[in-house]
Structure formats: structure tokens, C-alpha cells
Structure 1
Amino acid sequence: MLIAQLTDLHIGVGRRLAYRKVDTATALERAVARVNAMVPRPDMVVFTGDIGDLGTPDEYALVKDILRDLDVPFYMIPGNHDQRAPLRAAFADAMPIEDGGAFINYVVDAGPVRLIALDSLDEGRPEGKLCSARLDWLERTLHDGDDRPCVLFVHHPPVAVGIKHMDDQRLLSGAETFAQIVLAHKDRIQAIMCGHLHRPIHTRWAGVPLIVAPSIAHQVALDLRDDGPSAFTMEPPAMHLHRWDEKQQCLLTHLAYVDQYDGPHPFFDENGRLIV
């Protein structure tokens, strides 16, 4: 099982440049082409939020048009730049929500593992929230009798990472209860996959790996000063590839750059000798 995680698209109406600098629509097109060209090709893509930049129907229409070229199934959760109603209207098939569900919470049966999508959007706010209804849903899902390993996908990370302006926007409300639920199921939860921070970051939280994916467009500047300004850089766009290894019974995460670079080149010549 191979899952590509793409995050923080920030698509603007009419292919508007994000922050007057970032061509996010072209960035998404390149990411789609990269996924399609991979060998082996991912079994699915999970988009972990900030699909649009303002969360309007026109933005999602543009995303939908670009994703027509994606050759694998995909799923989505919202980020703080999204709006639930228009996102659900545009991508109902990418969000298999239970009937009557107020939030974009759902489960994907990925064969040997279960993917649990969790909605951390607090509409109109940059920081994340998990209210009692969403946490109760997660608790019920983890107690539904399916004991397969599972992976959680949520836009907002629940940890401070040292980038002050982003730490102020992390998952705040509900984070303590979320940690208690995760800790109680740490033997089954393989990892928590997040977006939002526009940087690849890895840590351990509530007894499980917590992995933040970089953006397929622009990255947040790596500035660990307490008074570091809010800024972004044009570091190489990238995605995460999550591979479930059935033999080892473990989840492996690889960083994959969107752009193509020189290579691959062999280490050994045609006679099997190391090239020096």
C-alpha cells in the first residue's frame, strides 16, 4: 500500500498568485504529473487541507479541473483556508462521510490499514479545533471492532515546533483530549499525518509518530527565533509517500520532491565495479 500525501495547495480563483508570488495552480499541475509518473504509482492520494486559499466554489472548481488528470483515487480533509460547505459540494466523492455528519470525518479502507480522516477546521480561525463531537466520533471509530493498524490524517499539528507564528496556529482546542485518545490506542495508531506547517517535520506525540508534510507549493521559512517574522520561501515543493510494509508490519514515510532533478546515475559500471 502506497499513499501520496499532498498538502497546502492554496489555489486561488483565476490562477491568482498566492501572496503575489506563488503560482499554486501550476504547482498542483506539476504535483499531479509527478504522482502519475511514479513507478510504482501510489494507490491513492490524500490531500491534507488548504485546498483553496479562500475556500470559494470557484477555487474548488479550478482544483477539480486540474485533478481530472490525476490517475489515482484521492481523498480530502479541510484546512484553515477551506470552507466545509463548498468543499463538500465540489468533492463529495473524496469525502465518504457518514450520512448526516456535520464534520468531514471518515474512514478509508486501505486493505491492511485503515485511514482515519479528522476535521480540525474552526471556520474563520487559523488555529485548529477538535470539539467534543469530533473527538467522540474518533473514540467511537477506534472502538468499532476493527483492530487493523490505522493512520490518522488531520490538517493542524497538535505540537509547537519552534516556528512562533505557526505555533500560534496549531491545534489548540481539544488537543489534550485528542492526546488521551491517541495514547490509549498507541499500539494500533501507526502515525498521525498533518499539513499546515509547510515544512517536513517529524516528532513523537502521545506515544506515536507525528509527521508533518511539506507543501507542494511554497514552504514556511525555517526561522526558530522567538521573534521570527511570518514569511515563506520558495524551497523545492515536495510531498510525502507513506508505504505500508506488510512483511515488517510498519509504516515508512519517504520525502519525494515534485520537480525532476539530474539522475538517477549508477554507482557501479557495466562490470559491477564501483565508479570512482
Structure 2
Amino acid sequence: MTTFLVQLSDLHIREQGRLAYGRLDTAPYLQRAVQSVLHLKQRPDAVVITGDLSDFGRAAEYAHLEELLAPLPMPVYLMPGNHDDRDQLRRSFPAHGYLGSEGFVQYAVKVGELRLLALDTCVPGHSHGTLCEQRLEWLEAQLARYRGEPVVVAMHHPPFETLIGHMDEIGLLEGSEALEALIARHPNVERIICGHLHRAIDVRFGGSIASTAPSPAHQVALDLAPDAPSAWMLEPPGFRVHAWAGERLVTHLVPSGSFEGPYPFHDHGALID
């Protein structure tokens, strides 16, 4: 039986009626993404959201987020990003016991035939990420425990340079080399899935693949110049679907929204001269 894991990321939800960056209401975009998930041909076993759930980590933002996610009937696993507040996240979602009660938000959950390991890269009060020795030791222990299972490691900050200069400046600034060496020792790691970049990016990493997901709302502008200005665009939004059918993980990029079709590739009607 195939396992389907949906990855959303970088929602940046504000209080109702408040605009992100003074001009963008992110809530309707998340609503469309949720409806797109609900209309997938195969129902996901779970949804994981790889950080930046809110814009400022406020209680009112998380309350709004809870309402927006309510239509999803499958388990939804939350992770903090640099825009989130760990303590407020826990207070706002008390039913999500996997978040723990203090410290880093790190957990291991079973999703169908997959093992999902959530790795906390956040540094409170800062935009960049880090992986300290304590967090890496936790991951190593989990990988040793689940060495017989296909594993997906989820984290907010990607552990690789993206060549988008202003984002790499606030990327994972510590621990990426140690993480890559650790991943290389565990060939059952099928994917490292990340957020933060508001774009779909794929990189070979530690003998596996590390990737980022687009946002359901705004995307980081694609400019690979080292001195490119920090900017966002309303490019088509989307999310990732990770599917495990027993041998390897297959990842699809899915646009959110409503589109014409599907139509058959052949015409059953009569030929017209």
C-alpha cells in the first residue's frame, strides 16, 4: 500500500484582517491549498508543515491558523520556523502532544510506512538556523532506532546553499556539514524536506535528496545574483506530495488552486474532414 505525505510550508498566517508585508492576505491562499489537498485523488496519510506557520508567532495568528487547517481530516504535524514562537505554538495547539512541553520541537511519528523525523533548526529572535550538537545527537539516536524503516527528515532551514544570496545569509549557518555526514551513514533516509525558501529546490545531499517546498501564498523572487535584493512575488503557489510505494520515495510538485480538466488524451468522437 502506498503512503502519501503532503508537505505544506511557509504559511505566514496573520490575525484575521491583517496583511503580511502590508499588502498580502495569506489566509485565502492557505484555504485554496487546503482545498487542493482535500481534492487529491489519493487521500494523504498525513500533512506536515515545515515551519513559518505564522508571521509573528502570536496567539491570535495561531488561532486563525487552527481555523484554516480545521477542514483537514488527516493528522497534521506542525513544525516551527524562524517566524514562529515555540512556547506559543505549544500553548495554542495543546492537543498536539508530539510538540513536547519545552526545549526544541523535535519528534518522530509514523506516517503509513514512513518514519517522519522533525528536526528543529530555529534560533529564537533570529532569522537564520542552526543545528547544535544536542539536536544532531537526537537525530543520530532516532536514525539508529529506525534504521530498518524508510525515513523522511523534516526541517525548516535547508542544509544547503540555494544561490539566492539574501536567503543563504539567513539559511542554516551551523551544522550542515555534520548533518550531511550523519545522513550519509544512514542510507534509509529517503528525503530531507525543508521550507524557508518559498520555492521548489532539489539538491543531492549526503547520498539522499534535500528539497524545499513552495509557499501556498508568496514565493521568494528567483534571482541568483549574489547581491540580489530581498523580494517576493505572487508566482503560482503549491505544495509537495511525497509518495512511498515500497522501494523509493517519489516526490511531486502540486500547484494549489482550481484548474480545467482532467481531459482525456484521445477523442472518442467521429473524425471530421
TM range (shorter): over 0.9
CA contact (8 A) 1:95 1:104 kept: no
User: 1:226–1:45: structure 2 CA closer, same or farther, 3 Å change rule?
Assistant: same
Once the two structures are TM-superposed, the CA of residue 111 in structure 1 deviates from its matched residue by: 3.1
User: 1:272–1:189: structure 2 CA closer, same or farther, 3 Å change rule?
Assistant: farther
1:64 aligns with 2:62: no
The residue that corresponds to 1:115 in the other structure is: 116
Once the two structures are overlaid, the 10-residue window that deviates more, 159-168 or 139-148, is 139-148
- Cα deviations by residue, 1:58-116 (Å, 9 ceiling, x for unpaired): 11011011111222210011100001001112224445146x65211001112322110
Report the residue type matching 1:196 in the other structure. Answer: H
The residue that corresponds to 1:91 in the other structure is: 93
The residue that corresponds to 2:257 in the other structure is: 259
Once the two structures are TM-superposed, the CA of residue 183 in structure 1 deviates from its matched residue by: 1.4
Instruction: Give the aligned CA root-mean-square deviation in angstroms.
Output: 1.8
CA contact (8 A) 1:239 1:255 kept: yes
% identical equivalent positions:
44
CA contact (8 A) 2:106 2:118 kept: yes
Once the two structures are TM-superposed, the CA of residue 271 in structure 1 deviates from its matched residue by: 6.7
CA contact (8 A) 2:46 2:111 kept: no
The residue that corresponds to 1:231 in the other structure is: 231
CA contact (8 A) 2:147 2:188 kept: no
The residue that corresponds to 1:42 in the other structure is: 44
Question: Helix, strand or coil: the match of 1:261?
Answer: coil
* Cα separation, 2, equivalents of 1:15 and 1:253: 35
CA contact (8 A) 1:112 1:149 kept: yes
* Cα separation, 2, equivalents of 1:272 and 1:256: 34
Taking structure 2 as the reference length, the TM-score comes to 0.94
* Cα separation, 2, equivalents of 1:122 and 1:104: 12
Once the two structures are TM-superposed, the CA of residue 262 in structure 1 deviates from its matched residue by: 2.0
* Cα separation, 1, equivalents of 2:104 and 2:37: 28
CA contact (8 A) 1:152 1:189 kept: yes
Unmatched 5+ stretches in structure 1? none
The residue that corresponds to 2:222 in the other structure is: 222
1:77 aligns with 2:79: yes
The residue that corresponds to 2:14 in the other structure is: 12
Taking structure 1 as the reference length, the TM-score comes to 0.93
CA contact (8 A) 1:15 1:25 kept: no
Count of aligned pairs between the two proteins: 270
The residue that corresponds to 2:213 in the other structure is: 213
* Cα separation, 1, equivalents of 2:182 and 2:95: 28
Report the residue type matching 2:222 in the other structure. Answer: L
Equivalent position to 1:269, from 253, 267, 270: 267
CA contact (8 A) 2:45 2:74 kept: yes
For residues 175-194 of structure 1, the aligned pairs below 5 Å read 175-185=176-186, 187-194=187-194
Report the residue type matching 1:72 in the other structure. Answer: M
User: 1:154–1:136: structure 2 CA closer, same or farther, 3 Å change rule?
Assistant: same
* Cα separation, 2, equivalents of 1:167 and 1:192: 17
User: 1:61–1:174: structure 2 CA closer, same or farther, 3 Å change rule?
Assistant: same
- Cα deviations by residue, 1:199-246 (Å, 9 ceiling, x for unpaired): 000110122101110001100000011221100110011000000112
The residue that corresponds to 1:170 in the other structure is: 171
* Cα separation, 1, equivalents of 2:10 and 2:122: 14
Once the two structures are TM-superposed, the CA of residue 265 in structure 1 deviates from its matched residue by: 1.9
Question: Helix, strand or coil: the match of 1:142?
Answer: helix
Larger RCO: 1 or 2 (CA < 8 Å, sep 6+): 2
* Cα separation, 1, equivalents of 2:5 and 2:232: 27
CA contact (8 A) 2:90 2:99 kept: no
The residue that corresponds to 1:53 in the other structure is: 55
Q: Which portions of structure 1, spanning 4 or more consecutive aligned residues, are displaced by more than 3 angstroms?
A: 92-95
Report the residue type matching 1:172 in the other structure. Answer: L
